[in-house]
Structure 1
Amino acid sequence: MKKSLLVLAVLATISTAASAQSSVTIYGVVDEGIVYENAGAGGAFRVDSGLQSGSRIGFKGTEDLGGGLKANFVLESGFAADTGAQSTAGVLFNRQSYVSLSGGFGEVKLGRIQTMVYSNAAVFDPFGDTLAGDSARLFNYGGSRTDNTINYSYNATNGLNGQLAYSTGEVAGNNSANRTVAGAFGYSGGPVQVVLTHQNTKNATGSDAAKTTLLGGNYNFGMISAFAGYAINKGVGTLNTRDALLGLQARITPADLIMASIIHKYDKAVDHADATQIALGYTHDLSKRTNLYTSVSRLQNGSAVAYKATGNGKSDKLFNVGIRHKF
């Protein structure tokens, strides 16, 4: 009897040690709000999902392999909370889907991964690529995620950080077609964050490429943080634009944050194709996991362009209010 109890105790100890070396977490966001938008053809109200953060459910895990080496994975599925539908029809894990190895050398990921500009949006955009002030409404992000990607990232103890990514186009006989090569180098320490990113995406034949280079950052003065970003976009066809952003965040209480920004897109290839957006936003934390938000923006187009609007020269006026819950 004593031997049996001893065996059970040993097995329990081994099981506990093994489980402590690996973990799987289920997490997610449910974000929903009311939107009023007038893009030049009359205003309309709607209920929308993912105004501050894309509604999602995710699974992430890690296993300690010993010697500082870990195996990791992320599987993340976006959905529309207002309808229950998948964000991308027919694609279950449309947000992120990768497996990785990490250690003292950094982390190597394989799969569907965030693009360089998108993954660094919170460094230069006070809205963090969300709400009515979202910089992606005018900035060239090159998409938010890329498939078939090899990504290497490293975060040094002195605040320096960097990423390199290669996304295969998977076109037989043409390794340049649809290929994306990207990199980022940044610093995060004390009150300063800064990042320089570059992304080069070939077209379907590999004969031309869309290229974006962005420098951005923020500085925390205490209650106020100042943000700035500047991007050069060149490539496919006559693309030759510049994007500039100035913004701020004001932390008026531990639970209350005000955001504001102005963005200007200048088109060097086409006359009267510039656009300007001004935006103001506010969030209030009800708890560590739940907050309320509201934001408003106005995007004015030049006479030869129609960003987010129904026709050239028209403006897009956007207002939203909603709630976000993380779990």
Structure 2
Amino acid sequence: MKKIALAAAIAAAIPAFAQADVNIYGSLRAGVSVTKNSTNNYSSTFGVDDFGSRIGFRGNEDLGNGLKTIWQIESGLTMDGAGGTGTASGALATRETYVGVDSPYGKLRVGYLTDVLGDTEATDNFYGPRRDSAGANFPLYEAGYEIFGDYGDSRYKNSIRYDSPDLHGFNATLQYGAGEKNNAGQMKQGEQYGMRLAYQNSGFFGAWAYAGLLNTKGGSNSTINRIEGGYSANDLYLAATYQWSNVYGAGSTLPGASKLSPAFAAGTNKLENTSWALNAAYTIGNFKPSIVYSKRNDAKVDGIRYSTGATQWALGLDYTVSKRTLLEAGYGQIKENHDAQTLKQLSKDTSSVYWAMIKHNF
């Protein structure tokens, strides 16, 4: 009787599975690297690394009349067994995770959602080993490398995001991330807003993205604007990015702020900065050589200019093995200006990485 009941239960479940349309997907990325930065005392160190592996589950349900329920749960993982934090922790739903509705009028999602700056990285096309704390092969406009712009280029927590349908090559995104914090006697903290307008047609593309963080210093709001454009067709890829930011109170995590001349009190200032990047690639059969060059300009802190700039460049070569498998090798480096070196308390001004990796998507 138990066997009959089990068989009946499985038979009853099969139609439900068929209607659910659940897909398992992921990207396994592992390789080797030689890093030279502050975490290893600028001594060239060989390692076996994960390069941003992830696994996810997604699906949809047809509701009729052009409507669909859509959902996704995505998690980061580490292929080298070294563990990690944040998206690499191996915990569930550490990357983009949502539920929403797709329709002819656009897509509306709720959850942990990629922000508008993360969608505006046309000059960032290399993979990096997690062990490279300097991010030597990533453009300097991205959060973490721009020094003062410590938000964006990731995901909004507690987020609602609307993406419009394509209209003659144009599309728009509106996004909100709830801060969910309001201490007694203070303004709301942590609320984020994003907007993006983009165009793509006949190989040409362009976008403007805005990301705002409310009340980062009293009633002052931090803002980051980014524009990009380029061409991608006929085996040629060209892209350019420019960013300007006005960030309040973002220096609190910079240990050398008090050592600048003149010194400034970390975490209480208006910080203004610009950065830009260029990227070019050309596909020749299965090979694609690429180059990226980026520059972070010197920043103003309360109107005073400091030498917080930096230059970064990287060369890479992709080899496409199949539709799902890619090999990549390259070299990248960052050179920090004097005050940037002081702010980060770096003993040397240049960090670098050599890398080689294999990526397989499933």
Partner of 2:257: none
Paired with 1:199 and 1:307, the residues of 2 have a C-alpha distance of: 28
Q: Counterpart in 2 of 1:191?
A: 203
- Residue in structure 1 matched with residue 93 of structure 2 by the alignment: 93
Instruction: Describe how 1:1-327 pairs up with structure 2 within 5 A.
Output: 22-39=20-37, 41-50=42-51, 54-83=52-81, 85=83, 87-88=85-86, 89=89, 91-121=91-121, 124-127=122-125, 132-135=136-139, 136=142, 138-139=145-146, 140=149, 142-172=152-182, 176-202=188-214, 207-220=219-232, 222-236=234-248, 237-253=269-285, 255-269=286-300, 270-306=305-341, 311=346, 314-327=349-362
Relative to 1, partners in 2 of residues 1:312 and 1:207: Cα closer, same or farther, differing over 3 Å?
A: farther
The 3 A distance-change label for structure 1 pair 307 and 283 is: farther
Whole-angstrom distance in 1 between the partners of 2:153 and 2:48? 24
CA shift in 2, pair 1:77/1:126, >3 Å: closer
| Unmatched runs of 5 consecutive residues or more in structure 2 | 1-10, 130-135, 249-268
Gaps of 5+ in 1: 1-10
Point out the structure with the larger strand share.
1
Deviation at 1:127, TM superposition (A): 1.4
- Retained in 1: the 8 A contact 2:311–2:335? yes
Hey, what does 2:259 align to over in structure 1? none
**Contact 2:128/2:137 (<8 A) preserved:** yes
- Name the SS of the counterpart of 1:306 in structure 2: helix
Percent same amino acid among aligned pairs? 25
CA shift, 1:35, in A, is 1.2
Take 1:129 and 1:56, find their aligned partners in 2: how far apart are those partners? 13
CA RMSD after TM alignment: 2.6
For 1:143 and 1:227, locate their aligned partners in 2 and report how far apart those are by CA, in whole Å. 17
TM-score (structure 2 length as normaliser): 0.78
1:31 alignment partner AA: R
Greater shift after overlay, 155-164 or 65-74?
155-164
Which stretch shows the higher mean deviation, 125-134 or 311-320?
125-134
Structure 2 CA distance for aligned equivalents of residues 96 and 317 of structure 1: 30
* One-letter identity of the residue aligned with 2:25: Y
Between the aligned partners of 1:307 and 1:66, the Cα distance in structure 2 is: 60
CA shift digits 1:171-204 (9 cap, x unpaired): 1466731000010000011111101000001356
301-310 or 30-39, which moves further after superposition? 301-310
- Per the alignment, in what secondary structure is the counterpart of residue 119 of structure 1? coil
- 8 Å Cα contact 1:48/1:82 also seen in 2: yes
Residues 125-166 of structure 1: per-residue CA shift (max 9 Å, x gap): 151675753223635562411110000001324111110001
Relative distance call for 1:47 and 1:208 in structure 2 (3 A) is farther
Shift in Å, 1:33: 1.2
Corresponding residue for 2:264? none
Q: Assess if the C-alpha contact under 8 Å between 2:187 and 2:219 holds in 1.
A: no
Give the distance between the partners of 2:216 and 2:120, measured in 1 at CA: 26
Is the partner of 1:201 in helix, strand or coil? Answer: strand
1:86 to partner: Cα distance: 5.8
1:98 shift after superposition: 0.5
- TM-score of the pair, normalised by structure 1: 0.86
Task: Report the counterpart of residue 6 of structure 1 in structure 2.
Answer: none
Conserved 8 A contact 1:79-1:87: no
CA distance in 2, matches of 1:30, 1:308: 36
Alpha-carbon shift at residue 45 of structure 1 (Å) = 1.3
Deviates more, 1:75-84 or 1:216-225: 216-225
296-305 or 310-319: bigger deviation:
310-319
The residue number in structure 2 matching 1:4 is none
CA contact 1:309–1:316 (8 Å) conserved in 2? no
